[in-house]
A and B are shown apart, each in its own frame.
Chain A
Amino acid sequence: DAGVIQSPRHEVTEMGQEVTLRCKPISGHDYLFWYRQTMMRGLELLIYFNNNVPIDDSGMPEDRFSAKMPNASFSTLKIQPSEPRDSAVYFCASSHTEAFFGQGTRLTVV
């Protein structure tokens, strides 16, 4: 297995634009997590899914953030509209017991 695959690796966008981050989890894993990492706030859990069903989205900062998992092999995190304070590295991780992380998407909103 190639591991957790995230795309794009880097994204630079203008404030107000829609941003979509993508994640392909490891096959057979039943949990999928989205995290955000910043220097100020560290690693924050945004939302997680179990068997494609969102279980806890209490970490999603605002209604501008949404996440979907239409099937076991794909998830998206969308920010609409984006703001400069959304700039961060966004990680997707999949898990059965331990979590395996993707390489992350570095988002810069200017």
Chain B
Amino acid sequence: AQSVAQPEDQVNVAEGNPLTVKCTYSVSGNPYLFWYVQYPNRGLQFLLKYITGDNLVKGSYGFEAEFNKSQTSFHLKKPSALVSDSALYFCAVRDIRENNNDMRFGAGTRLTVKP
């Protein structure tokens, strides 16, 4: 079965600095990879996805992520962080090879951007 690891519970960055939120995955076949953001008392909001094609994918709010097959990683990045980016971020994976097509999420990383 597929799985996702987010090795950092918490990431702190200063406003205006670049940010990276890490994600590694494990699947048997080819992965669909996703990033979501969750603000307090809200549902998860879709940010971006990798299905196929260019390894660098761009999403909402200036976020991007790079798919690295050799390192089985899909790190979320943003060149210049905003205080309003502070939230809980989740990486997710679906294994499109298996019949079991569920979506598994990492434990989440809390991003805090300080002014």
- Report A's interface with B, CB cutoff 8 A: 4, 31, 33, 35, 42-43, 45, 48, 50, 55-56, 91, 93, 95, 97-104
Contacts and interface: CB of A to CB of B under 8 A. Distances in A.
By size class, the interface of chain B is 20 to 34
B31 interface: no
A35 B44 CA distance: 11
Contacts of A42: 105, 107-108
Contacts of B25: none
A92 B115 CA distance: 35
Interface in B99-115: 100-105, 107-108
Interface of B: 32, 34, 36, 42-46, 49, 51, 90, 92, 100-105, 107-108
A56 B43 contact: no
Given A97-B32, A98-B34, A98-B49, A31 B101 contact: yes
Nearest to A44: B105
Contacts of B103: 33, 45, 48, 93, 95, 99
Contacts of B45: 101
B44 A55 contact: no
B43 A45 contact: no
Contacts, number: 50
Given A43-B108, A97-B32, A33 B102 contact: yes
A101 B44 contact: yes
B101 A55 contact: yes
Nearest to B100: A56
Nearest to A50: B101
A45 B102 CA distance: 8
Contact of A103 (B36, B43, B49): B43
A74 to B, nearest CB: 18
Contact of B102 (A43, A56, A101, A104): A56
Contacts of A55: 100-102
Contacts of A99: 34, 44, 46, 92, 103
A10 to B, nearest CB: 10
- B36, B45, B108: most-surrounded residue (chain A CB, <10 A): B36
Considering residues B42, B43, B101, B102, which has the most beta carbons from chain A within 10 angstroms of its beta carbon? B43
